[in-house]
């Protein structure tokens, strides 16, 4: 069935209007409120000790969570696609658990497991390893909520690549590691890269689970999203300006991630 030109234009107008109202207008307002008193004033809020430490903590958490989930995602994808073990369907369902469970519930569950009086909390505390209300708990929460992305990007690519080249490499005498490094990994590299970008975006912007397990102390457990939340909850125009300045930092990072997604997405389509 052919769709008339007028109907097509109407649908496009509705879609663009929807995006403008929900995305561009709020982002434009954040940009305006950030720099309404000048770039120097906004920069002074972005370079406070609390803002700098929050930015670094956010980047450090992402730098830990993303490689861990990348390694896990590749291994898990290989098990799901190439494995011949029982329980793959259960594992496949568990991978999507972070998508359906509220991040706040994730944070609460971590407290029950690693907090004082939890299953393992007393052991860690007695050995001087604080998990809850410490950066370690923030890392665990971030790893959990960003876990599925690499798996869900790599598994379809691995399935589409087939097993013929791997079987040929094994026939020629290549070891399992050589086959993976020289055959499997190159065939899934763009899926891995796209999954890494998605994982990075989730890790950098996570607030729900992290808010529950963080003590929100500047210079210790205050990440950039939490800094926005903290400043926004304070009263006064100065606090609002600080919140907008921190939000602008997150927007810039998000835009960089978006550009990476666009470039990798285009490259991935070319490879297909």
Question: What does the pLDDT look like over 86-114, one tens digit per residue?
Answer: 778 888 888 988 888 889 999 999 999 99
Confidence bin at 162 (pLDDT 50/70/90): confident
Q: Which residues does 26 contact at the CB level (< 8 Å), separation at least 6? A: none
User: Both 142 and 15 in a single domain?
Assistant: no
Mean pLDDT of all residues in 233-241 = 79
- The residue-averaged pLDDT of 17-25 equals 85
pLDDT score, position 265 = 63
Cα–Cα distance, 87 to 89 (Å, whole number):
5
Is the domain of 57 the same as that of 82? yes
Residue 27 shares a structural domain with residue 126: no
Q: In angstroms, what is the C-alpha Rg of the chain? A: 22
In this structure, the answer to whether residues 125 and 259 fall within a common structural domain is: yes
Q: How far apart are alpha carbons 134 and 269 in whole angstroms?
A: 41
Output the pLDDT for position 58. Answer: 93
For residue 73, is pLDDT > 70? yes
Same domain, 30 and 154: no
> Is residue 57 domain-shared with residue 165, that is, in the same domain?
yes
Q: Which one, of 265, 205, 244, 207, lies nearest residue 29 by Cα?
A: 244
Predicted confidence band of residue 7 (pLDDT cuts 50, 70, 90) = confident
Q: Are 28 and 98 found together in one domain? A: no
**Shared domain check, 6 and 32:** yes
Q: What is the pLDDT of residues 46-56, one digit of tens each?
A: 999 999 999 99
State the chain's mean pLDDT as an integer: 86
| pLDDT attached to residue 270 | 55
Residues 170 and 260 in one domain: yes
Domain extent at residue 261: 41-271
pLDDT tens by residue, 27-66: 888 888 888 888 898 899 999 999 999 999 999 999 999 9
| Distance of alpha carbon 209 from alpha carbon 157, whole angstroms | 30
- State the pLDDT confidence band at 3, using cuts at 50, 70 and 90: low
- Of 21-25, 140-144, 182-186, which has the strongest mean pLDDT? 140-144
Q: Can you tell me the distance from the alpha carbon of 267 to that of 102, in angstroms, rounded to the nearest whole number? A: 33
Residue % of the chain over a pLDDT of 90: 31
Count of the separate structural domains present in the chain? 2
Q: Are residues 144 and 231 in the same domain?
A: yes
In this prediction the pTM is 0.86
Same domain for 76 and 181? yes
Could you tell me if 161 and 67 lie in one domain? yes
Q: Using one digit for the tens of pLDDT, what is the confidence trace for 173-204? A: 878 888 888 888 888 888 898 899 899 989 99
Contacts of 11 (CB under 8 A, 6+ apart): none
CB distance 227 to 27 below 8 Å: no
Report the CATH number at residue 85.
Answer: 1.10.3720.10
pLDDT of residue 11: 83
């Amino acid at each position: 069935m052919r769709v008339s030109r007028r109907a097509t234009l109407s649908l496009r107008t509705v879609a663009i209007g929807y995006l403008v109202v929900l995305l561009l207008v709020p982002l434009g307002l954040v940009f305006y409120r950030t720099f309404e008193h000048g770039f120097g004033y906004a920069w002074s809020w972005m370079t406070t000790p609390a803002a700098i430490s929050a930015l670094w903590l956010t980047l450090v958490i992402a730098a830990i969570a993303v490689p861990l989930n990348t390694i896990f995602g590749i291994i898990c994808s290989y098990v799901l696609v190439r494995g011949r073990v029982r329980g793959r369907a259960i594992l496949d369902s568990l991978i999507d658990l972070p998508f359906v469970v509220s991040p706040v519930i994730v944070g609460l569950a971590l407290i029950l497991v690693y907090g004082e009086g939890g299953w393992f909390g007393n052991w860690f505390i007695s050995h001087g390893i604080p998990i809850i209300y410490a950066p370690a708990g923030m890392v665990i929460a971030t790893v959990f909520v960003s876990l599925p992305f690499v798996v869900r990007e790599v598994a379809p690519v691995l399935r589409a690549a087939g097993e013929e080249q791997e079987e040929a490499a094994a026939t020629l005498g290549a070891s399992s590691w050589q086959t993976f490094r020289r055959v499997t990994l190159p065939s899934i590299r763009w899926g891995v890269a796209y999954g890494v970008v998605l994982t990075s975006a989730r890790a950098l912007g996570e607030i729900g689970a992290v808010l529950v397990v963080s003590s929100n102390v500047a210079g210790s457990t205050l990440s950039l999203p939490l800094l926005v939340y903290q400043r926004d909850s304070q009263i006064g125009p100065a606090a609002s300006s600080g919140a907008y300045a921190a939000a602008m930092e997150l927007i810039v990072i998000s835009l960089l991630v978006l550009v990476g997604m666009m470039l990798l997405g285009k490259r991935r389509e070319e490879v297909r």
